[in-house]
Amino acid sequence: MADQKIGSEWQNYGSISVSGNASAEATTDVTPRKIANFDTEIDNGVAVASHASDQIAIVDAGDYYLSAFVSFSGTLSRTFVVEVYIDGIASGVKFTRKLGTGGDVGSSACGAILALSASDIVTLYHSSTDGGTAFTMVDGQLNIFRLK
């Protein structure tokens, strides 16, 4: 992935992702838990992306565009929430999706512009609001792009 150009300035980024995953998260219930199945990272200066720790660490403070998408399977007819956490605290940037009864893989995305500080840790968490006990991220990506 090359440097991102937004407007007239080159921007830096960080990203963790997974494609074709079949490993379920260790535990799923009403308690939010960090998604821990990323297997690829890429970064470019303002962040350190790490699939081993399933996070992006911010190096340079600034305004960032953050985006996340997840396609997942899980407990049938249950509602799941995926939310961005900053330093282990819910950011309010999230999506909620209910899976159907046919064993489908559902997808959703969210994004926001956030002011992040140097050393902030950006992660994704998942939970179920109504009794879901299984969650498998099939494909997913967490991205940050520095705006200024």
Give me the pLDDT at residue 59, please. Answer: 93
Residue 71's nearest CA partner among 21, 28, 20, 107 is 107
Q: Which domains does the chain have, with CATH numbers?
A: 13-146 (2.60.120.40)
Read off the pTM: 0.89
pLDDT in tens, 12-59: 889 999 999 999 998 889 999 999 999 999 988 789 999 999 999 999
Residues 6+ apart with CB under 8 A from 7: none
Contact 68, 106 (CB under 8 A): no
Give me the pLDDT at residue 1, please. Answer: 38
Give me the pLDDT at residue 11, please. Answer: 59
Residue 127: CB atoms within 10 Å: 19
pLDDT in tens, 46-79: 899 999 999 999 999 999 999 999 999 999 999 9
Contact 18, 40 (CB under 8 A): yes
The angle at the Cα of 127, spanning 90 to 122, to the nearest 5 degrees, equals 35
C-alpha 119, offset from chain centre? 18
pLDDT in tens, 114-148: 999 999 999 999 999 999 999 999 999 999 999 87
